[in-house]
Amino acid sequence: MEKFGALLQTQDWKKEKHVPVIECPDSVKSGEKFQITVTVGKEVPHPNTTEHHIRWVQVFFHPEGEKYAYQLANCEFTAHGEAVAGPNQGPAYTDHSVTVTAMLSKPGVIHAINFCNIHGFWENSREIKVA
């Protein structure tokens, strides 16, 4: 039986529209607020249609030297142009990017995972230092 982790895909986000891009400082001060922005389709735009869209993005922090990660955010995108009149005729669309304000007391790794309704799960990660 295949493990769930085997379903997570990753590639170079500059060439693949599904990979979440994590933007945050390289280093932050312990206990001070900072922002983490996760965008899907930063270089190669991802469609945002009723038929093909990003459903959600989750952001995690894995502290250096610890076994478990902590979930920082779970953002669900629920409007993709659906309407009674038909697909892509609706008045509302949610963009597949999210900004999270966080505080850390230890260095570690920020992880982002997203789900495309057609192409599955995608991941990326970025180290962050804490001074």
Give the pLDDT confidence of 34-86 residue by residue, as tens digits: 999 999 999 999 999 999 999 999 999 999 999 999 999 999 999 999 999 99
The three-class DSSP label of residue 68 is coil
Closest CA to 108 of 70, 53, 54, 58: 70
Can you read off the two tokens belonging to residue 93? 């669309």
Catalytic residue (one of 17, 53, 96, 111) = 17
CA gap 27, 3 in Å, rounded? 33
Q: Catalytic site residue 80?
A: no
Q: Catalytic site residue 16?
A: yes
Q: Catalytic site residue 96?
A: no
Q: Whole-model pTM above 0.85?
A: yes
- Average pLDDT of the residues of the chain: 96
Q: How confident is the model at residue 18 (pLDDT cuts 50, 70, 90)?
A: very high
The mean pLDDT of 91-116, rounded to a whole number, is 97
Above 90 in pLDDT, residue 14? Answer: no
Q: What is the pLDDT of residue 128?
A: 98
The mean pLDDT of 101-130, rounded to a whole number, is 98
Catalytic residue (one of 46, 53, 96, 111) = 46
Q: How confident is the model at residue 125 (pLDDT cuts 50, 70, 90)?
A: very high
Q: What is the pLDDT of residue 74?
A: 98
CA distances from residue 88 to 14, 17, 48, 51, 115 in whole angstroms, order as listed:
27, 20, 9, 8, 20
Domains, the chain, with CATH or none: 4-130 (2.60.40.730)
The mean pLDDT of 95-115, rounded to a whole number, is 97
Q: How confident is the model at residue 131 (pLDDT cuts 50, 70, 90)?
A: very high
